[in-house]
Amino acid sequence: MTSAEQKEAISAFIFLSPFLVWMVFLMGGPILAAFFLSFCKWDILTPIQFVGLDNYKEMFFNDPRFWKALFNTAYFTFLSVPIGMVLSIVVALLMNQRVKGIGIYRTLFYLPSVVGAGVAVAVLWKWIFNADSGLLNYMLSLLTGIPIADCPKWLASETWSKPALVIMSLWGVGGGMIIYLAGLQGIPSTLYEAAEIDGANRWQQFWTVTLPGLSPVIFFQLIISIVASFQIFTQVDVMTDGLGGPADSTLVMVLYIYQKAFKYYQMGYASALSWILFIAILLATWLQFKYSKWVYYEGELRK
């Protein structure tokens, strides 16, 4: 290394120092600590006790609530992610048309997703899902003629509580829409012109130009939204008052981790749960990369 290079490296590490501190103390260290804790029993007050694989054994063979939480999380993910994805692509396609006032429509669709992650929105939806006087059942009975008393009880029903969470999550399609819109606008218009000259109709253009052109964005969104929906917490905690009810039907992984760690002070068991969540997310992401042949990268052609 020349002295100029050395100087540059030193100043680089000064610029990097906030990140390095974070990496060691708030990321790497805690991951390892959580891994270690997952083999221990600890309530913070009494000394740590090493228990080997006991937490994991308990979890897999003796804890129906763990399986319930895993199932509920997967149920929510597999329902909300595909529906949300299709909806936000459809909305983005509509938004990509030249019609008057498109800026207003974009804002109206995007706004809920911005405000959407907070407690305020969870409170709003709790009220919308109210079985007797809520907006959703009112609209349902207005449109279908079913009396309100026979409509789903939503958050008060074991069957309908998870679909209710999915419906609420769909109100945030605007977030995905913006990203797909950026993707759509990045597809060169020459490709559409070429397709048109070749006699492709709208539908064929969608399948042969739009979808392949959008596939890297779809892939990115798929990964991000699966990771995010594995972590759903705020809405469930607020709407079910921290219980995940009725009858554990909305007990999701993060809520269960939170309960174990900060209500029952089972830090070891909660750490084991968090590692399972971690592995589930890694596995889901890895599978998506493994089966990502459908993703079309324009740059690859040029190689």
Partner 1 sequence: MSGSTTIPSPTAAPAGFWASKRRNEKITRIVVTALLIVGSAIMMLPIAWMLSTSFKTRTDVFAMPPVWIPSPLHWENYPTAWNVSGMYSTEDWSFLGIPFHGVTFTTYTLNTLTIAVLSCLGTTLSSSVVAFAFARLRFPLRGPLFILCLATMMVPPQVTMIPTFILFKSIGWYDTFYPLIVPAFLGGGAYNIFLMRQFFMSIPYEMDEAAKIDGCSNFGVYWRILLPLCKPALATVAVFSFVYNWNDYLNPLIYLDTNSKKTLALGLKNFVSLYGQDYHLLMAASLLISIPIAVIFLVGQRYFIQGIATTGLK
Is the CB of 5 or the CB of 300 nearer to partner 1?
5
Peptide bond into 246 cis (omega under 30): yes
Reference 221, options 39, 82, 50; nearest CA is: 82
Please name every residue paired with 41 in a beta bridge, in sequence order, or none if there are none: 49
49-50 and 40-41 strand pairing: antiparallel
Is the CB of 73 or the CB of 249 nearer to partner 1?
73
Rounded to the nearest whole angstrom, what is the least distance from the CB of residue 62 to partner 1 in the complex? 21
Rounded to the nearest whole angstrom, what is the least distance from the CB of residue 49 to partner 1 in the complex? 16
Rounded to the nearest whole angstrom, what is the least distance from the CB of residue 61 to partner 1 in the complex? 23
Is the CB of 216 or the CB of 246 nearer to partner 1?
216
- 40: three-class secondary structure by DSSP: strand
Reference 229, options 43, 46, 79, 53; nearest CA is: 79
Is the CB of 9 or the CB of 53 nearer to partner 1?
9
Q: DSSP letter at 132? A: T
Separation of alpha carbons 138 and 296, rounded Å: 45
Rounded to the nearest whole angstrom, what is the least distance from the CB of residue 208 to partner 1 in the complex? 12
Rounded to the nearest whole angstrom, what is the least distance from the CB of residue 96 to partner 1 in the complex? 7
Token pair, residue 248, equals 């554990």
Q: DSSP letter at 149? A: G
Angle at 293 between CA 225 and CA 208, to 5 degrees: 90
Is the CB of 235 or the CB of 249 nearer to partner 1?
235
Rounded to the nearest whole angstrom, what is the least distance from the CB of residue 108 to partner 1 in the complex? 4
Is the CB of 82 or the CB of 118 nearer to partner 1?
118
Separation of alpha carbons 58 and 232, rounded Å: 24
